[in-house]
Structure 1
Amino acid sequence: MSLAVRGLYGEGSQAFGDFYQISNQITLGRTEDELIAQVADVVPVLIDYERRAREFLLQETERNVHDQVSRAFGILRTAQTISAEETMQLLSRVRMGVLLGLVDDLHVSDVNKLLVRTQPAHLQKMKGIDLDTKDRNIERARFLRSYFESGSPDDN
């Protein structure tokens, strides 16, 4: 298949929040449609593999998984400052908890929206001003606390 798995932001980056980038490695001599079809053929296999891995993890270490999800929730709901990297990691744990049925009051689509809206550029756009790292981390924590109090990323 000649596919590459990299960190979220491409070559040399880390996989923050258990998110990865999948791309083809060979492009010469292939049409765009062929490349898209090649990657599209792999997606259902990866989705099934991830689902089975989550189920295995829950069967083998349910208490530990539930504890990690609960701790992530606690930090996200109460942090006064939080980095983008830590937010992605914690939201990823919460997302896993939602998918495993450990979290009742949240949907995967809400977690996905939070993953996007807590990124630096989105925070600055919502705030309407340029923010340095320290201020972004404070604003990100404020946004998350507000979300978990109100329950809707669309209202924030």
Structure 2
Amino acid sequence: MLQDILKTPLIPWQDGSGDLTDVVLDSRIRLSRNLKKYVFPDKATDAELAAVLAEGERYMPSLNTLGGGTYESIHLYDLTSWEREVLAERHLVSASHIQKPQNRGLLLRQDGAVSIMINEDDHFCIQTGAAGLQLDKAWEDATQVDDALEAKLNFAFRDDFGYLTASPSLTGTGLIAGVILHLPGLVLMKRLNRIVQGITKLGFTMCGMYTERNEYIGNVFQVTNQITLGVSEEDIIGQLKKLATQIVQEERNCRNLLWTHNQNAMKDRFFRNYGVLSHAWMLDFYETIDFLSDFRMGIDFGIIQERPQAYHALLTAAGPAYLQWQAGKELNDEEQDLQRAKVIRQLLQDYAI
């Protein structure tokens, strides 16, 4: 199961379904939970971490009865460093989770839509994903897993605070809900700052998914809630859905303006960058992420004849860890650039309409 997910550039749930997929790439839910009888992972002994990991594995069979697929238990220590890095690149684990792999684990559903990190910052971190704007679906998957585990495990909870977490900012619901958005129109029209200021006032935050030298690359942003205490999960998700819908409308308006007033320039830009992706002999990671933004925008305008899923596949294939895992060895910068261009040329052929 794990090897199938590692070797393919698309996780099964990244199927292009969902709402508003021209702007909303995917929806994500993250729930943090801790066992009452153990200290938080950063203060725990190896024996305590091992005990938490064993408890998670013991109750994994109850997750297999929920539907959606069976789960695999993975010990991070048993993986190669590149396998761990690929899992982090694909957001199935966090970067901090793989730094100390001993007594750290992952329960992974076969479609990759649900992953449960064990002994990250908290004892259990339930992560779910869904294509497009499908926060309700991601939330349903997360609550099913949460309920199944809570029926067997004694989570740390107080009536006056809610769920207790290692980070005080998560105390309460323990919920981080997020949507990942592709916003080239807002960036090109220089309207993004106004959006950021507006959502900050509502208790949400926006950050770039790819950054270099403090600059956002690729026009991909994640919007998440900042408040977890004193609000319900339903309120957080409902407000985020409303915000995402408003941002989508703003992005579409910007794209329409750009197209109306600069159609030839936009076509030229799309085809030039598509030409680089399809014929370049070497590609740097960050320039690839930038070109892929125009590639996806060109698909959305019907100019580039590729399936939308190609965008997700190419983002994965461009990752340094993915390239080195595929090669089975460490690659220097030049070797990565050569391999990246080769893989992208092939995938563009595979996903062409």
TM-score interval for Structure 1 and Structure 2 normalised by the shorter chain:
0.7 to 0.9
Show the counterpart of 2:135.
none
Alpha-carbon distance between aligned partners in 1 of 2:292 and 2:329, rounded to the nearest angstrom: 25
Post-superposition CA distance 1:27-48 (Å, at most 9, x none): 3333444333332221122222
* More divergent stretch after superposition (134-143 vs 32-41): 32-41
Counterpart residue type for residue 114 of structure 1? L
Show the counterpart of 2:252.
51
Using the TM superposition, give the Cα deviation of residue 129 of structure 1 relative to its aligned residue in structure 2, in angstroms.
2.0
Alpha-carbon distance between aligned partners in 2 of 1:6 and 1:13, rounded to the nearest angstrom: 11
Question: Residue 210 of structure 2 contacts residue 217 of structure 2 at CA under 8 Å; is this kept in 1?
Answer: no
* More divergent stretch after superposition (72-81 vs 24-33): 24-33
Show the counterpart of 2:295.
94
Alpha-carbon distance between aligned partners in 2 of 1:127 and 1:66, rounded to the nearest angstrom: 35
Counterpart residue type for residue 227 of structure 2? I
Return 5+ residue gaps in structure 1 as ranges. Answer: none
Counterpart residue type for residue 323 of structure 2? L
Counterpart residue type for residue 108 of structure 1? P
Show the counterpart of 1:27.
228
Counterpart residue type for residue 350 of structure 2? S
Using the TM superposition, give the Cα deviation of residue 96 of structure 1 relative to its aligned residue in structure 2, in angstroms.
0.5
* More divergent stretch after superposition (30-39 vs 79-88): 30-39
- Seq. identity, %: 28
Question: Residue 81 of structure 1 contacts residue 138 of structure 1 at CA under 8 Å; is this kept in 2?
Answer: yes
Q: For 1:64-103, list aligned pairs within 5 A.
A: 64-103=265-304
Moved over 4 A (4+): none
* Cα distance change, pair 102–9 in 1 and its aligned pair in 2 (3 A): closer
Show the counterpart of 1:3.
204
* More divergent stretch after superposition (60-69 vs 127-136): 127-136
- Cα RMSD over matched residues? 2.1
Show the counterpart of 1:141.
341
Bigger Rg over Cα = 2
Match of 1:130 among 330, 343, 349: 330
Partner secondary structure for residue 17 of structure 1: coil
Does the alignment pair 1:117 with 2:317?
yes
Partner secondary structure for residue 223 of structure 2: strand
Question: Residue 8 of structure 1 contacts residue 14 of structure 1 at CA under 8 Å; is this kept in 2?
Answer: no
Question: Residue 55 of structure 1 contacts residue 100 of structure 1 at CA under 8 Å; is this kept in 2?
Answer: no
Q: Which has the higher strand share?
A: 2
Using the TM superposition, give the Cα deviation of residue 9 of structure 1 relative to its aligned residue in structure 2, in angstroms.
4.8
Counterpart residue type for residue 134 of structure 1? E
* Cα distance change, pair 5–98 in 1 and its aligned pair in 2 (3 A): same
* More divergent stretch after superposition (135-144 vs 124-133): 124-133
Post-superposition CA distance 1:10-66 (Å, at most 9, x none): 8x9532111112122333333444333332221122222222211111101011111
* More divergent stretch after superposition (19-28 vs 134-143): 19-28
Question: Residue 17 of structure 1 contacts residue 90 of structure 1 at CA under 8 Å; is this kept in 2?
Answer: yes
Alpha-carbon distance between aligned partners in 2 of 1:9 and 1:90, rounded to the nearest angstrom: 13
Using the TM superposition, give the Cα deviation of residue 128 of structure 1 relative to its aligned residue in structure 2, in angstroms.
2.2
TM-score between both structures, scaled by the size of structure 2:
0.39
* More divergent stretch after superposition (49-58 vs 26-35): 26-35
Show the counterpart of 2:263.
62
Partner secondary structure for residue 6 of structure 1: strand
